[in-house]
Structure 1
C-alpha cells in the first residue's frame, strides 16, 4: 500500500508540474503577449479582457485552489525540506502546510464569486492568492506554485474593473477593532483549551469520544464548530448583495414639467405619490420611476419623456440593478417598451388587460350602454350633481374629502396602498383636478382626475364614496367624467387594469397562465377578478 501511495503521489505531481502548471503559465503569458499586440494596434487590451475576465479568472482561481490542495496531499520535492529547515523552524512549516490547504479550499469557494463579478470575491481572491504564494514557499519552497499564484493575482488586479457588483463585504466592512476583538476572544479560548488539555495525547479517536468526562473531545468539536461558523459567516458576507436602503426621491419640478409634456399615459402621474425613486436622463427631459424591494428593482410603467431617451434610461437602470446583484422587473409597461425589454433579455409575462374607452363620439344613447345609462339615471333622480373641481380650489375641499376617505377605508377594512396607486395625502390630492358627486351640496363621492397635457388620455386614481352615496353613484361619476373628457378634447379614458383578465389556459400554456386563469375563474372570494372585469367592460 505504501508503494501504491508513492506511485499515485508521483503521478499527480507529474501531471501538475508538466501539464497543469505549464497550462496556467502559458495562458497568462499568452494573455500578456496578446495584450501587447493589441496595444501596438492602438486598441486597449483591457477593453477586450474585461468581458472575459470573470469566467477566465474564475477558472484560474479555482485551478489555483485545486493546485494548493493537491500539493498539500503530495510529498515535498526531494531536498527542499532540508533546505527549508535551515531557514524556518519546523512548526512554522507545518502550520504553513495546513494553512495552504485551507487557502486552497477558500479559493475554490471564491471562484464562483469571481464568475458572478462580485467585488468582495475580488478582494478575497487577491488576498488569498498572495497568501497562498507565501505559504507555498513556507511549506516546502514550492516556488513554481508561488509564481503561478502571483501571476494569477496580477491578472486579477489588472482586470479589477470587471468585478463591480457590490457585496456586504465591501459595502459594510467590519471595523478593525471589532475584528481584533473577535479574533482575540476566539484565539484566547483556543489557547486556554490547549493549555488545559496539554497532558492529553492527541489521537483521531478524540473526535468521536462522547463520555461524561471527555472534556478534551468536547473542546476539539467546539473549536471546529466555531471555525466552521466563522467560515460560513465570511462566505455569506462575501456573496451577499449590498443592502439597498429604501428611500423616496423628489422629482425636480423642471424635469417633471419637461417630461410630462411628452406623456401619453396617465400613470405617469404616479411620479407625485412620494414613494418612488427616479432615474433622470442626461438631457433632463425624461425619467423613469422605480423602487427597490429586497433584490427586486421594479420599474413602474413606461419611461416618461421623449421616446428617444427611453432606451438610455432602461439600460441605465438595468446596469444599476446588475451592479447591486438585483433582478429587474418592468411592471405595467406598454407595447412600445416590448422591443427594448426583449433586447435586455427580459421575459414577458401577461398579468391582465387594460380597459380603455375611446371618447371620440362617446355617448350614453346606445343599446350597449343601457345598463350604465339606467344606473346613472337612478343617481340623477336621487339628486346627484357632477362637478370637476380645479386643482387650484382643492385645498378648501381636503377636510371633507378626508372624512369620506377615512370612512371608506374603514368600511372596506383596507389600508392605503402605494407604488402602483396613489394614497390620500393632502399634498398629492391638491396637484390634480377632482371629480365630485354632490347631493344637496354635500360631496358623496369623489375621484382625483389624471389627464395628460397632450390630452391623449384621461383617467382617475383614488375613487371613494360616503356612506349615503345613492345607488349608481359611481356609474354616474364615471359617465359624467367621460362626457366631460370628450368635451375637453381628450381621446381616451382609461379605467385601469383588470388583473388576470384575458389569460388563456391551454394545454401548452406556461404554468403562470394556467395558474392565472384558474384564479380568475375560481378566486372571487379572495379578489373580484371576474366582477371587476365585467364592471369595466360595460363602459
Structure 2
C-alpha cells in the first residue's frame, strides 16, 4: 500500500495533467453532442411561438437556479481556511458546477476540478477530506424531496405512473439519513464536522434542488402547460435519481424518457413535453455550461499566459481585435449593399449567405444608417480608442434590437452575440486615449464611403423614370420604390453628420505629446550627457521635445520631433545618455502609441536602426553623411595642391577668416541677416532638419566669417555645438552673390584648420541625400526607386552635385536611415517627410 502511495505521489503532476486533459476532452465531446441533445431547428420553431419577455425570464431563472451551488465552494474555502477573492471564487465555482452538471460522471468531475483549483497550495489530504464532506451533502436536497414524493405516493396524491418507480424514491429517501449517520462517525473523510457546517450544507443542497425543480416548473408554466404541478414533482424526482445513477452526462436520454412517459400520462401532448425539456436543458444546462466553459478557457489562458510571458493573451486579443474590425466593416458594407441592391440579395445565393445581418431587413433608412455606423465604429475600434468601446456596444445592441423587432432569426442573433462576446474579450486592446485620423485610415474609409455612396446615388439615378434604360439592363439594380431609395439617401446624409461628430468625439482632447522647448531641461541633458550634430536644431523652436526621466528622477535622454497628421517625426538620433537609449525609446514609443501617434525616425544612425528593429520597425536608407578626419587633414603634398591653391589665393588677395563668439551687437547681426537674405533671394527658409536665420539662433554659437581687406563680411557659417567633444560641424553657410568664386571652399578649409587646432577629431559635413542608396540589385524596392530618383532627378535637386562637392573633402561616409512602423504606408511616410522638411518657416520665430 505504501509503495502505491509513493508511486502516486511521484506521478502526481502527470496524473493532474491527464485529469485536466480528460476534462478538456469531455467538455469538447459534450459541446459536440449538444447539437444532438438540443435541436436548434426545434428551438427556433419553439421560440417563434414564445414572446421575447418570456424567453428572457427563462434565461434569468435558469441562471439564478445555478447560483445556490456556488455556496458549496464558499463552504469548502471555509473548511480549507482559504480567503480567495469573491470574484475568483464565483467564477471558479460556476465553472466547476456547470461543467459537472453537463459532463457529470457521478460527480467525479466536480471532485477533480475542486482538487485542482482549491488544492494548489494546500495539504492534499486535507483538501480531499474537505471535498468529500461537501460531496456527501450535494445530494441531500434531492433525498429530502424523494421522501416528500414518497409520502405523496403513499397518500395516493399523484399519478399512478410514479407508483411503478417507488423503489427509486425509497433509495433516494434513504440517502439523507445514511449521510447524517456517517457524519457522526469518527472518519476523517466524512466525520468531524461542526453542526453549523452540516446545517449550512443541508440548506444549500435543499435550496439548490428547490431551484432546479422550480426552474423546470416555471418554464412549463411560461409555455402554457395547464396541469397540477404538484404531480410533476415526483416524476421529476424519479427522473433525476435514474439520471444520476446512470452517470450519463446531463442525464441525457434517461431523464428525458422518464419525463416524457410520466408527463404524457398526465394528458400533456408529447410535442409540448419535448419542447419543455428542450427549453429546460437550454436555460439550466446549456447556457450556464457555455459560460462555465468560457470561464475554464479563461483559467486555462491565465495559466498559459503566466507560463509563456503573456504572449498567448496578446496574440489572441490582437486576433480578436482584428476579427471585430473585419466583422464590423464587413457587416456594415453588406447591410448597405443589401439596402442598395435588395433584389440581388434575394436572387443570388452567395450574397444571401455572405450577408450576416440583413437576411430579412428591408427598411432602407435603418439598414443604411446602421451599416454606415458600423463602419464608423469599426474605425474607432481599429484605432484601438478606448472611447469607442461603449458606443460600439450600444450600436451592436441597437442592431440586435432592430433585428429582433423586424424578424427573429437565430443566425442573426447568434452572429450578433458572437460579435458582442469578441468585443468584450478584446476590450483590453482598446487603450488609446484619442483618435489621430491618419491619411492611411482616411484613404481606406474614404474609398469605402465614397464607393458605397456613389453606388447608392448612381442606382437612384438609374431608377429615375427619365433615365434611358437600354436593352440588357440588370433587373437587380431596380429599387422596390423611389420612396424607399429616398429614405436610404437621407440615411446617408444623417450618417455623414454622425460620422463628423463621432470622429470629433474620438479625436478629443487633441493632446500633443512632449512639450515646447524647455531650455533648462534641454541644456541639462546636453551638458551632462552629450548630444550629436542635430541636437542644436532643437533651439530653432520649430519642434517639440520629449525628455526621458530615469527611475531616479533624472532627465537623461532628449528627443526632438514634429507632429504632422499622425506621424511624430523625430529628427536625428536621441541626445543624452547612450545607456538609457533603449528605455527612452520604449517610453517614447509607448507615449506615442497611447495618444494615437505613429513615430518616424528621420536620418538616424545604424545604432538606432538596430534598437528600433526590435520594435518591428522597417527602414529605408536616406543617404550618407560625410565626415572629414581632421587628424588626416593637411594642405601639404601634391594630392592637396588644388585646396592649397584656393587657400593661398584668398590669403594673397587679403581675405581673412575669423571666428567671432557671441554675444553679437545688433549691427553684426543685421549684416549677417542681409547676407542671408541676399543668398536666399526669392526662396523661403526651411526648417526641421536645417537651420534658419533668426537672431536668437545666431546668438547661440560662434560664427566663422570671411572678410574682405576693408573688413566687409562676404560669407559666414555658424559653428553649432554638437555637445560631443570629438565632433565639429556647421549649420547655416551663406555668402553674398558677388563673393569671389571658391569662397565656400576657403571657408571650409579655414574651418577644418580651426577645428583641428581646437582639438576636434572629425568634421561633419552633413548629409548627401539618396547618396549610395539602392545601388545593389538586391536592395529594397523603395531604395531601388530612390536610386532612380538620385540618377534622374538632378534637374530638380542636385543630388549628385552635392555628393561630388562633399566628396572633395570627405574621408569617410556613414549611412543614415529613416525608420517607420510596418503598420504605416511608406508612401505616406515619405509624403510626410517631404512636407515637414520643405515647410516654409516663419522668420519671426
- Same fold flag (TM > 0.5): yes
Q: Could you tell me how far 1:436 is from its partner in structure 2?
A: 0.7
Query: Which residue of the partner structure matches residue 376 of structure 1?
Result: 647
For 2:419 and 2:288, locate their aligned partners in 1 and report how far apart those are by CA, in whole Å: 9
Query: Which residue of the partner structure matches residue 750 of structure 2?
Result: 480
Query: Which residue of the partner structure matches residue 224 of structure 1?
Result: 488
For 2:327 and 2:740, locate their aligned partners in 1 and report how far apart those are by CA, in whole Å: 77
Residue pair 1:457, 1:490 contacting (<8 A) in 2 also: yes
2:658 aligned to 364, 367, 387, which one? 387
Residue pair 1:207, 1:217 contacting (<8 A) in 2 also: no
For 2:409 and 2:308, locate their aligned partners in 1 and report how far apart those are by CA, in whole Å: 32
Residue pair 2:704, 2:719 contacting (<8 A) in 1 also: yes
Residue pair 2:572, 2:603 contacting (<8 A) in 1 also: yes
Q: Greater Rg, structure 1 or structure 2?
A: 2
Distance 1:511 1:239, change over 3 A: farther
Distance 1:519 1:117, change over 3 A: same
Query: Which residue of the partner structure matches residue 522 of structure 1?
Result: 792
Query: Which residue of the partner structure matches residue 428 of structure 1?
Result: 697
Query: Which residue of the partner structure matches residue 766 of structure 2?
Result: 496
Indicate the SS of the match to 1:123: helix
Residue pair 1:290, 1:300 contacting (<8 A) in 2 also: yes
For 2:43 and 2:460, locate their aligned partners in 1 and report how far apart those are by CA, in whole Å: 30
Distance 1:254 1:317, change over 3 A: closer
Instruction: Say what the alpha-carbon RMSD is for the aligned residues.
Output: 4.6
Indicate the SS of the match to 2:656: strand
Q: Could you tell me how far 1:496 is from its partner in structure 2?
A: 0.7
Query: Which residue of the partner structure matches residue 684 of structure 2?
Result: 415
Query: Which residue of the partner structure matches residue 318 of structure 1?
Result: 589
Between stretches 309-318 and 217-226, larger displacement belongs to: 217-226
Indicate the SS of the match to 1:392: coil
Query: Which residue of the partner structure matches residue 331 of structure 1?
Result: 602
For 1:438 and 1:63, locate their aligned partners in 2 and report how far apart those are by CA, in whole Å: 71
Distance 1:57 1:362, change over 3 A: closer
Q: Does 1:33 align with 2:302?
A: no
Residue pair 2:561, 2:570 contacting (<8 A) in 1 also: yes
Residue pair 1:261, 1:454 contacting (<8 A) in 2 also: no
Q: Deviations over 1:482-521 (max 9, x none)?
A: 1111111111101111112122434443333333333333
Normalization by structure 1: what TM-score? 0.73
Residue pair 2:386, 2:430 contacting (<8 A) in 1 also: yes
Between stretches 511-520 and 307-316, larger displacement belongs to: 511-520
Indicate the SS of the match to 1:391: coil
Query: Which residue of the partner structure matches residue 718 of structure 2?
Result: 448
Residue pair 1:120, 1:169 contacting (<8 A) in 2 also: no
Indicate the SS of the match to 1:467: coil
Distance 1:246 1:288, change over 3 A: closer
Q: Could you tell me how far 1:290 is from its partner in structure 2?
A: 0.9
Q: Could you tell me how far 1:372 is from its partner in structure 2?
A: 2.0
For 1:24 and 1:291, locate their aligned partners in 2 and report how far apart those are by CA, in whole Å: 53
For 1:158 and 1:205, locate their aligned partners in 2 and report how far apart those are by CA, in whole Å: 41
Query: Which residue of the partner structure matches residue 125 of structure 1?
Result: 392
For 1:205 and 1:70, locate their aligned partners in 2 and report how far apart those are by CA, in whole Å: 25
For 1:470 and 1:108, locate their aligned partners in 2 and report how far apart those are by CA, in whole Å: 65
Normalization by structure 2: what TM-score? 0.48
1:513 aligned to 783, 786, 792, which one? 783
Query: Which residue of the partner structure matches residue 164 of structure 1?
Result: 431
Residue pair 1:422, 1:462 contacting (<8 A) in 2 also: yes
Distance 1:261 1:108, change over 3 A: closer
Query: Which residue of the partner structure matches residue 707 of structure 2?
Result: 438
For 1:530 and 1:104, locate their aligned partners in 2 and report how far apart those are by CA, in whole Å: 54
Q: Could you tell me how far 1:286 is from its partner in structure 2?
A: 1.4
For 2:327 and 2:792, locate their aligned partners in 1 and report how far apart those are by CA, in whole Å: 55
Q: Does 1:342 align with 2:609?
A: no
Indicate the SS of the match to 1:350: strand
Between stretches 24-33 and 157-166, larger displacement belongs to: 24-33
Distance 1:230 1:381, change over 3 A: farther
For 2:665 and 2:519, locate their aligned partners in 1 and report how far apart those are by CA, in whole Å: 23
Indicate the SS of the match to 1:278: strand
Query: Which residue of the partner structure matches residue 570 of structure 2?
Result: 299
Between stretches 124-133 and 266-275, larger displacement belongs to: 124-133
Residue pair 2:372, 2:495 contacting (<8 A) in 1 also: no
Aligned length: 471
1:286 aligned to 548, 554, 557, which one? 557
Between stretches 429-438 and 245-254, larger displacement belongs to: 245-254
Please state which structure has a larger fraction of its residues in helix: 2
